Structure 1
Amino acid sequence: MQEIDQVTRKRTNIVQLLQKDGPTKICAPMVRYSKLQFRTLVRKYGCDIAYTPMIVSDSFVQSEECRKVEFITNENDKPLIVQFAANNPDDFASATEMVFPYCDGVGLNCGCPQRWAMAKGYGAKLLRNPEQLVDYIRFTRSRLQDPDFSISTKIRLHADPHKTVEMCRRLENVGVSFISVHGRTTKERHQPVHYDQIKLIKDAVSVPVVANGDVKSLTDVYKVYEETGNLYPVTLRAVCII
């Protein structure tokens, strides 16, 4: 983990940031691109929150070389969320403990539909077992109880919208800080994003919900913000730029 030994971080409460008036602009994790230099650039153009690329948690925990390559940050790299892929709760919790002093939160990737990820039990494969997914959040929250540190997850939609809502309610009950929703099912790639289903989730839970998918401009940000129900805010939601 290069450069981070010198970091003195005053933590940003991500949930409070997501609850501010108006949409929050988030730069979603992108493989190979979302490194420190890229995050530094997007922050200059009004990005409110940035993610690291997805990091495989077991490699991160076991390999110092992996940590040196995959996680580089500095004192200006904030607010920052580290996204992990994991196929068991212990790896996710252990990786989270390692980055805890140097970021503002972690995210569990449950949205990646790529074959290699699914084959290893990562990404969207976790959506097939909601009970296990809930355990990831519960277990990690039990080991890191700082209320200002966010533990979130990114999901895709079930074919049955009610199953998605029920899963999100269970995640909320075990302490998830917020939920990012890519508005497609695992089988969908370029089909239109189901913003109506993201709104359904938003109306069913009290934690912030981040809308993800096909947001390519600032105009899209405000369009999605309106389509996902900003006119009826209990907790104001956020829009994710990809």
Structure 2
Amino acid sequence: MPKLQGFEFWSRTLRGARHVVAPMVDQSELAWRLLSRRHGAQLCYTPMLHAQVFVRDANYRKENLYCEVCPEDRPLIVQFCANDPEVFVQAALLAQDYCDAIDLNLGCPQMIAKRGHYGAFLQDEWDLLQRMILLAHEKLSVPVTCKIRVFPEIDKTVRYAQMLEKAGCQLLTVHGRTKEQKGPLSGAASWEHIKAVRKAVAIPVFANGNIQCLQDVERCLRDTGVQGVMSAEGNLHNPALFEGRSPAVWELAEEYLDIVREHPCPLSYVRAHLFKLWHHTLQVHQELREELAKVKTLEGIAAVSQELKLRCQEEISRQEGAKPTGDLPFHWICQPYIRPGPREGSKEKAGARSKRALEEEEGGTEVLSKNKQKKQLRNPHKTFDPSLKPKYAKCDQCGNPKVSGFRLQATKASALGVGRVVSALLGVAGLVPAQLGLQRGSRWHGCLRTAPCFQPSPCPGLEGKRVWVGWGEGEASGLGAVPRAASRPWASGRGFPSEAAPLLASLAPGVVLATGSRDFLCPGQQMCVQPVPRLLQEASLQRDCRLPRSRIAF
């Protein structure tokens, strides 16, 4: 059967879907999609998947797609983030048998997308995007679609959409915000941009942004002329949005929990959904908000939800015949959440306490994150007091901590039986700078936090001078411009001043110090002191020992 395209794809494969649930990381999982479909959603997207991870990790594929196959969960579009045409197509080929189309994420505005170079941060690389869409269009048996954000200029947004259409995109979702509009700076989405794109392309267009209720959906369809409307945050607070209903929160919460029992998902997803559904009620019952954050089981979450239901029902019985007061209707019904602007968000509301404030109430002023608590469990003597942390002057050249001298600290020496390494290396630490002529400068500072790398990256004043590097000497022609250290055991002392040999020989039996860059996971470094058990050396495994970079740190 030939691959359907454009409007034929939308009308036949997607069944003319108008009500669409957006791809949401950790939120549009199978259980939530099934709940949304029961309440008016006609098309759903998977959460965004990382193409590169999807290609290399079978477990990732299994957990995020293959195990979530369900006959009721169609039509379905799988969304990937990618920045390489070949990787994107490889991932899509692995997913195409489990969905009706493959979507390329060009709309994620978060910092993680900027660091990973994907999402909305590809919108200026038109040549790359053309190659990605074109290759996917040629190789896949299902259509390729795109979800984009707009540029500030309408004409540039239109040209962007036309470029994607020409490359082979068969359906375009346009989020009417720029990549800078996120969080408290979100503001309103521009339907004018979406309307202009719809008029300029000959493929179906979905609109995204400003959708809080069914009236918004109908108004968007009418004002923009798009084929469908996508909802993300509105759907999370009211999965019955597309039905035009605002049911009691517990009705949808209980239905969702029943689906989760049948189609399990990570507890963090469930907790996040319950926080969204009960958002307004949890502003009233703050102590249950804390309970919901702490419970560790699905049944525990269900118990908190049940307690919220009972409290709401008690309140209803007391307020029989009363009318809603304030800006919101009764807090126990599903309703939109209006994100506060920058000024509103900076002021703490009198009736609501932050999560940090709740933690401080219980635990006093010493509040540690979960990550820090885990670190403290492993090391009870560890402190996180900023005043006790060592302070370093910054280097004028690179901005990293400036080294004023060497200091040694045994971190995990006992694990290798090298109790006497520290005392021996103290002598080396004092000797090396004097005898080898190594200077403290530039990239060398970067080794402070990980390993004792004697990085010969001379300061500008050493240019043209001879400095020791590894097993010989070389001319320092600039920052970092020095020969690479060879990989040899230090124990022999060969190539180093003879004064170093006795100190090196006094190391604990069974330990050899070796130097190298590639040898011990030190890419780009030189002469990293790495204690390696003699067993590994004798087995000729020292070139790929896979140990941490160093057991001894400066």
* TM-score bucket (shorter structure): 0.7 to 0.9
User: Where do residues 44-55 of structure 1 align in structure 2 (5 Å cutoff)?
Assistant: 44-55=38-49
How far 1:150 moved relative to its partner? 2.4
For 2:109, the equivalent position in structure 1 comes to: 113
Task: Give the letter for the 2:51 counterpart.
Answer: S
Higher relative contact order (CA 8 A, sep 6+): 1
User: Where do residues 136-175 of structure 1 align in structure 2 (5 Å cutoff)?
Assistant: 136-144=132-140, 146=141, 149-175=142-168
Match of 1:63 among 57, 63, 66: 57
For 1:204, the equivalent position in structure 2 comes to: 200
How far 1:14 moved relative to its partner? 4.4
Q: Does 2:123 match 1:127? A: yes
How far 1:19 moved relative to its partner? 8.3
3-state DSSP of counterpart to 2:177? strand
Match of 1:85 among 81, 85, 89: 81
Task: Give the letter for the 1:156 counterpart.
Answer: R
TM-score calculated relative to the size of structure 1? 0.86
For 1:227, the equivalent position in structure 2 comes to: 223
For 1:241, the equivalent position in structure 2 comes to: 231
Give distance in 2, aligned partners of 1:120 and 1:31: 15
Task: Give the letter for the 1:82 counterpart.
Answer: V
Give distance in 2, aligned partners of 1:169 and 1:80: 25
How far 1:219 moved relative to its partner? 1.2
Give distance in 1, aligned partners of 2:148 and 2:187: 17
3-state DSSP of counterpart to 1:185? coil
For 1:177, the equivalent position in structure 2 comes to: 170
Structure 2 runs not aligned, ≥5 long:
233-554
For 2:21, the equivalent position in structure 1 comes to: 27
Deviations 1:102-128 (A, max 9, x none): 110111100001111111111011102
Q: Does 2:181 match 1:188? A: yes
Give distance in 1, aligned partners of 2:71 and 2:15: 24
Instruction: Give yes or no for contact 1:14–1:105 (8 Å, CA) kept in 2.
Output: no
Identity of aligned residues (%): 35
How far 1:167 moved relative to its partner? 1.5
How far 1:40 moved relative to its partner? 1.0
Task: Give the letter for the 1:163 counterpart.
Answer: K
Give distance in 2, aligned partners of 1:77 and 1:195: 30
Task: Give the letter for the 1:238 counterpart.
Answer: G
For 2:544, the equivalent position in structure 1 comes to: none
Task: Give the letter for the 2:47 counterpart.
Answer: P
Instruction: Give yes or no for contact 1:109–1:123 (8 Å, CA) kept in 2.
Output: yes
3-state DSSP of counterpart to 2:123? helix
3-state DSSP of counterpart to 2:71? coil
How far 1:75 moved relative to its partner? 2.1
How far 1:76 moved relative to its partner? 2.0
3-state DSSP of counterpart to 1:152? strand
* Equivalent pairs, count: 220
How far 1:216 moved relative to its partner? 1.9
Instruction: Give yes or no for contact 1:19–1:237 (8 Å, CA) kept in 2.
Output: no
Higher strand share: 1
Give distance in 2, aligned partners of 1:186 and 1:174: 22
**Segment drifting more, 79-88 vs 160-169:** 160-169
Task: Give the letter for the 1:127 counterpart.
Answer: Q
Match of 1:42 among 27, 36, 43: 36
Give distance in 2, aligned partners of 1:186 and 1:125: 8
The 1:19–1:175 alpha-carbon spacing in structure 2 relative to 1, beyond 3 Å, is farther
Instruction: Give yes or no for contact 2:137–2:143 (8 Å, CA) kept in 1.
Output: no
Give distance in 1, aligned partners of 2:212 and 2:24: 14
Give distance in 1, aligned partners of 2:15 and 2:156: 26
How far 1:131 moved relative to its partner? 1.7
How far 1:214 moved relative to its partner? 2.1
Give distance in 1, aligned partners of 2:33 and 2:203: 26
Instruction: Give yes or no for contact 1:217–1:241 (8 Å, CA) kept in 2.
Output: no
For 2:542, the equivalent position in structure 1 comes to: none
Instruction: Give yes or no for contact 1:19–1:208 (8 Å, CA) kept in 2.
Output: no
3-state DSSP of counterpart to 1:128? coil
Give distance in 2, aligned partners of 1:19 and 1:53: 21
Deviations 1:110-163 (A, max 9, x none): 00011111111110111021121121110111112x4xx221011101122211
TM-score calculated relative to the size of structure 2? 0.38
Instruction: Give yes or no for contact 2:162–2:201 (8 Å, CA) kept in 1.
Output: yes
Poorly superposed stretches of 4+, deviation over 2 Å: 17-20
Q: Could you say which structure has the larger radius of gyration?
A: 2
For 1:5, the equivalent position in structure 2 comes to: none
Give distance in 1, aligned partners of 2:11 and 2:176: 23
Deviations 1:151-206 (A, max 9, x none): 10111011222111111111111221111011011111221110011000000001
